[in-house]
Structure formats: C-alpha cells, structure tokens
Structure 1
Amino acid sequence: MYAIGFLAQAFFSARILFQWILSERAKKVLSPSIFWILSILGSYLLVIYGWMRNDFSILLGQFISYYIYIWNLHEKGDWKRVHAVLRTIMLLTPVVAVIFVCNNADEFIASFLKNDKVPLWLLIFGSMGQVIFTLRFVYQMVYSARRNESILPIGFWVISLIGSFVIIAYGMFRLDPVLILGQAVGFVAYFRNIIIARKDYKYRLNESE
C-alpha cells in the first residue's frame, strides 16, 4: 500500500521538479506538458492508495483535479496524440468509479465517511485541505481559459502553499508518511516559482515602460 502511495507522490514530485528546472532555465514560470502527464499518472496511483487507506479526502482531491489535468493537455495540443483507446479509458475511469460507489453506497459511507480511525472533525479538516489544494487547479484552469493557453499563474503557487500546509497537518494527525513527505517536497518549488513569477512580472513591467 505504501509503495503505491510513495510511487504516486514520486510522480507528483517529479512533475514539480521538471517544471521547476524548465522554469529556472527560461527565467519565467512554465506549464510544460510533462507536468500534466505526470499529474495524471500520480493521480491514478494516489486514488488507489486513498481507496486502500479508506481516505475520503484523498479521493475527493483527485476527483476534482483529474479532468483539469486532461484539459491542460488538450490546451497544449498533446491530448490528441494519446492513443484513442487510452484516451477513452482515461476519460471513463472516474465515471466508472462513481457508478461503482453509487451501487455500493452503504459500504462506501461506512468505510470512508464513518471510519472509526478518522473522526468527523479530522475528515472535515483533511477534506478542507484537499479542496484548497485542488482549487489551485480550478483557479489555474479559469486563468488559462481566459488567455487561451495553459499557464501556471502566481496565485496557483500561493494556493499550493496554503493547501499543502493543511494537508501536511492532516497527514501528521493520520500518521501518513505518504502525505507528509509528498507535500513537503513541493514546498521549496512553490516558493521558488512565486519568486520567479514576481521577477518575470517586474521585468515585463520595466520592458513595457
């Protein structure tokens, strides 16, 4: 179980690492395709881990962001390069999962929403952290859609920091090394992207003057 969770976080950490390196080289914040490809792979595995841990907050966070990853690949023109069969599987996976949950609603509620290992206050706290962390992608999608291109704006990284802090606290309460280590890795990159974005903004502002 932990192997799956750590592999998922490895994909998420790799996406941040690639994005960070490419942004440092370009001296501006980039949204490379590899970021979104690794996001999808990590999301798949983290859902499996969350299911094995009976962790509703993990499932909730990935459910919200999954299609946004695909949308960004589409905006970058890479989604159509994925084989049609694989695209179909990727698009239908969350739908099949929802149907399965609906058909086993009582069992799902008992395992995920009434879990003795996760009291209600902790469930709400963890879900809040995942929602905040995931809303960065909703913000990113709206921001990008208005500009007709995939962009990772400075607000994305600010929300990342806030959500990550809450998730780390939740992971400590649940004694979950996957969440703690996975979120801790991104902290430096989030701060650095904010600095890069601010420098790029000041540079473009000076250029316009």
Structure 2
Amino acid sequence: MKEYLLVTGVGLLAQGFFSLRMLHQWIKTERAKKIISPSLFWVFSICGAYLLMLYGWLRNDFAIILGQFISYYIYLWNLKANGIWQKCVLPLRLVLLLTPPAAAVSLALGGADIAQTLFKNPDIPLPLLVFGCISQALFTLRFVYQWWYSSRHHVSVLPLGFWGISLTGSVLICLYGVLRLDIVLILGQALGLAAYARNIMIGLKSARSSSKRS
C-alpha cells in the first residue's frame, strides 16, 4: 500500500507540473487574446517530464516512458530558445542532459529481465500496450511539430497545429488511462482537454482577425 501511494504520488506530482504549465499558458493567452508561449511553460514541462519518466519506470509502463523520452530534449531546446538554459548552473545542465541516456544505459545493462518487465508486463496485454504507444507517439508529435515550426521561424511558439494534435492525442491517452484504470493519466489528460480546445478557439479567432486586417 505504501509503495502504491508513493508511485501514485510521483505520478500526480508530475501531472501537477503539466497542469501548472497549461494553467499558466491559458491565463497568459486569455489576457493577450492570442496564443502565448511563456517561458514558465517549458520550465514546468521539464519538471513534469522528469517525474513522469520516473513514474513510468515505477509502473513498468513502456508507453509512458517512450512518450517522455521523445519530448524531453524538445523541452530543453525551448528552454534554450527562451534564454533559460543559459542561466542554469553547469551541474544542473549536466543532470538534465545525461539523465535520459543514463536511464537508457540502465535498461540495456538490465538485459532481458528489464525488457521482459517493460514489454511483457502481464498487467498490460500487448494490444493495449501497442495502443498506448501509438497514443503517446501521436501526443508527442505535437512537440516535434512545435520544434519544427519554431525552428523555421527562429522563435519558441505554440502554433495552432500544436493544439489540434494535443486535443486528438489527449483523447486517445485518456481512453488508454481508462482501459488501464490509471487515475494519473485520466486526471492529467482530462484537465488538459479544456485548455487545448480553448487555445484552438483563440487561435482560430486570432487568425481570422489577422486575415481581416490584411
């Protein structure tokens, strides 16, 4: 019971950071009447990703781990684009940079036992694991798209397409959480749905206003 509460606590704390980033971004966007990409969004993102990777490991859930590994370095790129990375002390930067590969090395050194635990978890049927991985991959593609778009425009932004992918991926992950009876995933995604939908509405309205002015 204590172990369950500890693991769940780590997951809820991670989702708390993700919820904070959405709430902060939502408030900034509502005030500006256009989609905003605040620096704190990326600070909260890296904190949440770090903890959620730990949660995925403790839950033996490869779908969660995969989703965070893909987006982790995109968060760091955005921290650099916002001038935050340069202000971090060297030890912190090294920890943030080296933790994912260190975890990958740990998995490799674990050999077949670790692979068996992650990929053949008796609590997660293979079709459900595949569905979870696809859902996480789609959800993570939003940050790949965000990075690609921001790189082309040489500025860290959250474009309209980011929110469309977010909404679709969130619905799928929420369904995965229901099938897994995972309260952390359900709460985390459910809270984000309103923010994703609202950003899409504000983005479309802002785009229409810009078209009329031009």
Interval containing the TM-score (normalised by the shorter chain): over 0.9
Which of 116, 122, 127 is equivalent to 1:121?
127
How far did 1:205 drift? 1.4
How far did 1:53 drift? 0.6
In the TM superposition, what are the counterparts of 1:144-159 in structure 2 within 5 Å? Answer: 144-159=150-165
CA distance in 2, matches of 1:134, 1:40: 14
Which of 78, 85, 89 is equivalent to 1:79?
85
Residue matched to 1:200: 206
How far did 1:125 drift? 0.3
- For the pair 1:22 / 2:34, whether they are aligned, the reply is no
In the TM superposition, what are the counterparts of 1:71-110 in structure 2 within 5 Å? Answer: 71-110=77-116
- For the pair 1:32 / 2:38, whether they are aligned, the reply is yes
- For the pair 1:160 / 2:166, whether they are aligned, the reply is yes
Residue matched to 1:50: 56
TM-score by length of 1: 0.98
The count of corresponding residues between Structure 1 and Structure 2 is 208
In the TM superposition, what are the counterparts of 1:56-75 in structure 2 within 5 Å? Answer: 56-75=62-81
Query: C-alpha offsets along residues 184-206 of structure 1, whole Å, 9 cap, x if unaligned?
Result: 00000000000111111111112
**Which letter does structure 1 place at the counterpart of 2:61?**
D
CA distance in 1, matches of 2:96, 2:113: 25
Unaligned runs of at least 5 residues, structure 1 = none
How far did 1:61 drift? 0.1
Which of 137, 140, 160 is equivalent to 1:131?
137
Unaligned runs of at least 5 residues, structure 2 = 1-6
CA distance in 2, matches of 1:105, 1:69: 29
How far did 1:83 drift? 1.1
Percent identity, aligned pairs only?
53
**Which letter does structure 1 place at the counterpart of 2:26?**
W
How far did 1:51 drift? 0.7
Residue matched to 1:183: 189
Q: What is the aligned-residue RMSD (CA, Å)?
A: 0.7
Residue matched to 1:5: 11
Query: C-alpha offsets along residues 57-90 of structure 1, whole Å, 9 cap, x if unaligned?
Result: 0000000000000001111111101111101110
Secondary structure at the aligned position of 2:155 is classed as coil
How far did 1:105 drift? 2.4
Secondary structure at the aligned position of 1:104 is classed as helix
CA distance in 1, matches of 2:39, 2:101: 24
